[in-house]
Chains A and B, each alone.
Chain A
Amino acid sequence: MKFIFKIIFFLIVVGVLPMLLSYLFSLSLAKGMLEDLTFLNLERMDNLVAMEIENLMAQALDNISVLSRNPILTSEQTSIEEKSEELEKIYKYYSLFRDISILNEKGKVIISTTYRFYGRWEENYWFQKAREEKQLVASDAYAALDPTNPILAFFSPILDKNNKIIYFIVAQIDTDFLWKITDIKIGERGYVILINSRGDIIAHPQKKLLFDKISPSYNLQQNTSLKKGRTKFRFEQENLMAYFNVIEKYREYPGHNWHLILVQPEEEVFTLIRTIETETLIFLIIFLFTILLISFILGKYITKPLIKLSLAAKEIANGNLEIKTEIKTGDEFEELSKTFNEMTKALKKSREASEIARTALEIKVKARTKELEELTLSLEEQVKARTKELEKGREELQKRVEELERFHRLTVGRELKMMELKREIERLKKEIEKEKSKLKNE
Chain B
Amino acid sequence: MHKKNLIITITALIIILGVIAGTFYYLEKAKKAALEDELIIFNWENYLDPDIIKEFEEKFGVKVSLEYFDDSSYMFSAVQSQPDKYDLIVAADDGVKEMIDIKLLSLLDHGKIPNIKNLKEEAAENYYDFGNNYCLPYIAGYTGIVVNTKYIKDYDGSRKIFWDEKYKGKISMPNNSFEVLLNAFFQLGYDLENPTEEQLEAARKLALKQKDLVIGYDDPFDQRDLMVSEKAWVTYVYTTEIPAMISKNSNLKFFAPKEGVVLWTDNWCIPKDAPHKNAAHAFLNYLLEPEVSAKNSEYIGSPMLNGAMEKFLDPEFFSKTKGLDFPLDKEVFLRSSYCPSFIAEKVQIVSNQLWSDLGIEE
| A residues adjacent to B (C-beta < 8 A) | 106, 108-112, 114-116, 118-127, 139-140, 142-147, 198, 200, 210-212
Contact between B81 and A126, CB atoms less than 8 A apart: yes
| B residues adjacent to A (C-beta < 8 A) | 69, 71, 73-78, 80-85, 101-104, 272-273, 345, 348-350, 352-353, 355-356, 359-362
Interface centre among B82, B359, B360 (most CB of A within 10 A): B82
Contact between A124 and B103, CB atoms less than 8 A apart: no
CB-contact partner of A211 in B102, B350, B352, B362, under 8 A:
B102
Name the residue of chain B whose CB is nearest to the CB of A111: B356
Task: Please measure, in the bound complex, the distance between the C-alpha atom of A137 and the C-alpha atom of B237, giving whole angstroms.
Answer: 37
Subset of 7 A-B contacts with CB under 8 Å = A112-B352, A119-B73, A120-B77, A123-B75, A123-B78, A125-B81, A211-B103
Contact between B74 and A120, CB atoms less than 8 A apart: yes
> Nearest Cβ distance between residue A309 and chain B, in whole angstroms?
39
Name the residue of chain B whose CB is nearest to the CB of A116: B349
Contact between A118 and B360, CB atoms less than 8 A apart: no
Task: Please measure, in the bound complex, the distance between the C-alpha atom of A418 and the C-alpha atom of B355, giving whole angstroms.
Answer: 173
Contact between B101 and A147, CB atoms less than 8 A apart: yes
Name the residue of chain A whose CB is nearest to the CB of B84: A198
Name the residue of chain B whose CB is nearest to the CB of A106: B362
Contact between A110 and B83, CB atoms less than 8 A apart: no
**With a CB–CB cut-off of 8 A, which chain B residues contact A119?**
73, 76-77, 80
Contact between B78 and A124, CB atoms less than 8 A apart: yes
**With a CB–CB cut-off of 8 A, which chain B residues contact A140?**
81
Given A118-B73, A127-B81, A198-B273, list of 14 further CB < 8 A pairs?
A108-B361, A109-B356, A112-B352, A118-B348, A119-B77, A120-B73, A121-B77, A124-B77, A143-B80, A143-B102, A143-B103, A145-B345, A147-B103, A198-B83
Task: Please measure, in the bound complex, the distance between the C-alpha atom of A142 and the C-alpha atom of B102, giving whole angstroms.
Answer: 9
Name the residue of chain A whose CB is nearest to the CB of B177: A118
**With a CB–CB cut-off of 8 A, which chain B residues contact A120?**
71, 73-74, 76-77
> Nearest Cβ distance between residue A288 and chain B, in whole angstroms?
31
CB-contact partner of B352 in A115, A143, A147, A200, under 8 A:
A115
Name the residue of chain B whose CB is nearest to the CB of A150: B102
Contact between A142 and B345, CB atoms less than 8 A apart: no
Contact between B356 and A125, CB atoms less than 8 A apart: no
Contact between B80 and A124, CB atoms less than 8 A apart: yes
Name the residue of chain A whose CB is nearest to the CB of B99: A143
> Nearest Cβ distance between residue B109 and chain A, in whole angstroms?
16
Name the residue of chain B whose CB is nearest to the CB of A104: B361
Contact between A118 and B352, CB atoms less than 8 A apart: yes
**With a CB–CB cut-off of 8 A, which chain A residues contact B360?**
108
**With a CB–CB cut-off of 8 A, which chain A residues contact B104?**
143
> Nearest Cβ distance between residue A185 and chain B, in whole angstroms?
26
Contact between B273 and A123, CB atoms less than 8 A apart: no
Task: Please measure, in the bound complex, the distance between the C-alpha atom of A211 and the C-alpha atom of B104, giving whole angstroms.
Answer: 8
Task: Please measure, in the bound complex, the distance between the C-alpha atom of A119 and the C-alpha atom of B272, giving whole angstroms.
Answer: 19
Task: Please measure, in the bound complex, the distance between the C-alpha atom of A116 and the C-alpha atom of B353, giving whole angstroms.
Answer: 9
Interface centre among A115, A119, A140 (most CB of B within 10 A): A115
**With a CB–CB cut-off of 8 A, which chain B residues contact A144?**
80, 102
Contact between A142 and B81, CB atoms less than 8 A apart: yes
Name the residue of chain A whose CB is nearest to the CB of B350: A115
> Nearest Cβ distance between residue A213 and chain B, in whole angstroms?
8
**With a CB–CB cut-off of 8 A, which chain B residues contact A109?**
352, 355-356
Name the residue of chain B whose CB is nearest to the CB of A80: B359
Task: Please measure, in the bound complex, the distance between the C-alpha atom of A210 and the C-alpha atom of B361, giving whole angstroms.
Answer: 36
Name the residue of chain A whose CB is nearest to the CB of B42: A123
Q: A118-B348, A142-B81, A211-B103 are in contact. Are A123 and B356 (CB under 8 A)?
A: no
> Nearest Cβ distance between residue A75 and chain B, in whole angstroms?
19
Name the residue of chain A whose CB is nearest to the CB of B356: A109
Contact between B356 and A124, CB atoms less than 8 A apart: no
**With a CB–CB cut-off of 8 A, which chain A residues contact B73?**
118-120
Task: Please measure, in the bound complex, the distance between the C-alpha atom of A116 and the C-alpha atom of B345, giving whole angstroms.
Answer: 8
Task: Please measure, in the bound complex, the distance between the C-alpha atom of A112 and the C-alpha atom of B357, giving whole angstroms.
Answer: 11
Interface centre among A125, A139, A210, A212 (most CB of B within 10 A): A125
> Nearest Cβ distance between residue A154 and chain B, in whole angstroms?
13
* A-B pairs, 4 with minimum CB distance: A118-B352, A143-B102, A123-B78, A125-B81
**With a CB–CB cut-off of 8 A, which chain A residues contact B74?**
120, 122-123
**With a CB–CB cut-off of 8 A, which chain B residues contact A114?**
349
**With a CB–CB cut-off of 8 A, which chain A residues contact B69?**
123
> Nearest Cβ distance between residue B357 and chain A, in whole angstroms?
10
Interface centre among B71, B83, B85, B273 (most CB of A within 10 A): B83
Contact between A108 and B362, CB atoms less than 8 A apart: yes
**With a CB–CB cut-off of 8 A, which chain A residues contact B103?**
143, 147, 200, 210-212
Task: Please measure, in the bound complex, the distance between the C-alpha atom of A146 and the C-alpha atom of B101, giving whole angstroms.
Answer: 8
Interface centre among B81, B85, B349 (most CB of A within 10 A): B81
Task: Please measure, in the bound complex, the distance between the C-alpha atom of A109 and the C-alpha atom of B350, giving whole angstroms.
Answer: 14
Name the residue of chain A whose CB is nearest to the CB of B85: A125
Name the residue of chain A whose CB is nearest to the CB of B79: A123
**With a CB–CB cut-off of 8 A, which chain B residues contact A145?**
102, 345
Task: Please measure, in the bound complex, the distance between the C-alpha atom of A124 and the C-alpha atom of B85, giving whole angstroms.
Answer: 12
Contact between B353 and A115, CB atoms less than 8 A apart: yes
**With a CB–CB cut-off of 8 A, which chain A residues contact B273?**
198
Name the residue of chain A whose CB is nearest to the CB of B98: A145
**With a CB–CB cut-off of 8 A, which chain A residues contact B361?**
106, 108
Task: Please measure, in the bound complex, the distance between the C-alpha atom of A125 and the C-alpha atom of B76, giving whole angstroms.
Answer: 11
Task: Please measure, in the bound complex, the distance between the C-alpha atom of A115 and the C-alpha atom of B104, giving whole angstroms.
Answer: 22
Task: Please measure, in the bound complex, the distance between the C-alpha atom of A327 and the C-alpha atom of B180, giving whole angstroms.
Answer: 116
Name the residue of chain A whose CB is nearest to the CB of B71: A120
CB-contact partner of A125 in B82, B348, B350, under 8 A:
B82
Contact between B102 and A112, CB atoms less than 8 A apart: no
**With a CB–CB cut-off of 8 A, which chain B residues contact A210?**
103
Name the residue of chain B whose CB is nearest to the CB of A140: B81
**With a CB–CB cut-off of 8 A, which chain B residues contact A121?**
77
Name the residue of chain A whose CB is nearest to the CB of B103: A211
Task: Please measure, in the bound complex, the distance between the C-alpha atom of A139 and the C-alpha atom of B83, giving whole angstroms.
Answer: 13
**With a CB–CB cut-off of 8 A, which chain A residues contact B348?**
118
**With a CB–CB cut-off of 8 A, which chain A residues contact B345?**
145
> Nearest Cβ distance between residue A89 and chain B, in whole angstroms?
19
Task: Please measure, in the bound complex, the distance between the C-alpha atom of A147 and the C-alpha atom of B341, giving whole angstroms.
Answer: 14
**With a CB–CB cut-off of 8 A, which chain A residues contact B75?**
123
**With a CB–CB cut-off of 8 A, which chain A residues contact B83?**
198
> Nearest Cβ distance between residue A215 and chain B, in whole angstroms?
16
Task: Please measure, in the bound complex, the distance between the C-alpha atom of A106 and the C-alpha atom of B272, giving whole angstroms.
Answer: 28
Name the residue of chain A whose CB is nearest to the CB of B361: A108
Contact between B80 and A118, CB atoms less than 8 A apart: no
**With a CB–CB cut-off of 8 A, which chain B residues contact A126?**
81
Name the residue of chain B whose CB is nearest to the CB of A143: B102
> Nearest Cβ distance between residue B182 and chain A, in whole angstroms?
16
Task: Please measure, in the bound complex, the distance between the C-alpha atom of A198 and the C-alpha atom of B271, giving whole angstroms.
Answer: 13
> Nearest Cβ distance between residue A175 and chain B, in whole angstroms?
14
> Nearest Cβ distance between residue B77 and chain A, in whole angstroms?
4
> Nearest Cβ distance between residue B40 and chain A, in whole angstroms?
14
> Nearest Cβ distance between residue A141 and chain B, in whole angstroms?
11
Name the residue of chain A whose CB is nearest to the CB of B80: A142
Task: Please measure, in the bound complex, the distance between the C-alpha atom of A140 and the C-alpha atom of B81, giving whole angstroms.
Answer: 8
**With a CB–CB cut-off of 8 A, which chain A residues contact B362?**
106, 108
Task: Please measure, in the bound complex, the distance between the C-alpha atom of A200 and the C-alpha atom of B81, giving whole angstroms.
Answer: 13
Contact between B355 and A118, CB atoms less than 8 A apart: yes
Task: Please measure, in the bound complex, the distance between the C-alpha atom of A122 and the C-alpha atom of B348, giving whole angstroms.
Answer: 18
Task: Please measure, in the bound complex, the distance between the C-alpha atom of A212 and the C-alpha atom of B103, giving whole angstroms.
Answer: 7
Task: Please measure, in the bound complex, the distance between the C-alpha atom of A103 and the C-alpha atom of B73, giving whole angstroms.
Answer: 16
